[in-house]
Amino acid sequence: MEVWPRLFASKNVQPPTHPLAPDTRPRENGAMKHVPERWSKSVEVPDMWLDPDEDPRDTDEPDPVGEQETYHRYLRDYRQTLELKCQGLNPQQLAQRSVPPSTMSLLGLLRHLAEVERDWRNWITYGQKEGRIFGPHDADFNDVDEDPESFAQALQILHDEQQATDKEVAQYQDLDLLIGREQIAVRELQVHRIEEYARHCGHADLLRECIDGRVGQ
């Protein structure tokens, strides 16, 4: 039964487009938005970001053993993935909001995750809370600029915040222990850290593909 025509017949509204249908709607001034060609730098495994011998995540390390080591490995690899997605771009591209209407950019993601690392540290400590790095809420995304130094600065801040959080978390080997002012279990914190980076790596996939078409895990 065709429900859409009846449902919308009394309203001046068009039924929704099928999710798999091509989007042929006009863009700015009637012209379609430029869509870059999809490409991969990897030759051996085209759906990967880099060939195995160039990929810093592809190591000869044995598989992790135990929860803590597994959490550490996954977190490390997602952190590296986010940085890989930024390689080979100029300052304008790093600051580009390539998936409108989202305010996200690759540079904004680096800044945002630095803020998140600091938030996690505030959760698991008791002393004076550390203040925000880049300003009020959403300044990490809204205040990005195309200055050539912005990326290097954001990356260094992110590394500093990651190291500080890692050092704090490393004190606790009991995964069931409730820690800090938020009384969060160490296990839950570790899983949440991985989830946060994994989610934003997904955002980075789309942002990068819309900038220059490069794809790959």
pLDDT (tens digit, 9 = 90+) per residue, 154-179? 999 999 999 999 999 999 999 999 99
Average of per-residue pLDDT across 142-161: 96
8 pLDDT above the threshold of 90: no
pLDDT at residue 145 in the model: 94
Where does the pLDDT of residue 20 fall: very low under 50, low under 70, confident under 90, or very high at 90 and above? very low
For domain 36-212, say whether CATH 1.20.120 is its number.
yes
Lowest-pLDDT range, 6-10, 41-45, 171-175? 6-10
- Compare 45 and 123 and report the one with higher pLDDT: 123
Domain range annotation of the chain:
36-212
Give residue-wise pLDDT tens across range 173-215. 999 999 999 999 999 999 999 999 999 999 999 999 999 887 8
pTM exceeds 0.85, yes or no: no
Rounded CA Rg of the chain: 21
pLDDT at residue 125 in the model: 95
24 pLDDT above the threshold of 60: no
Give the CA distances from residue 151 to residues 22, 52, 83, 93, in Å, rounded to whole numbers and listed in that order.
35, 26, 11, 11
- Taking alpha carbons only, the member of 121, 103, 99, 122 closest to residue 111 is 103
Where does the pLDDT of residue 62 fall: very low under 50, low under 70, confident under 90, or very high at 90 and above? confident
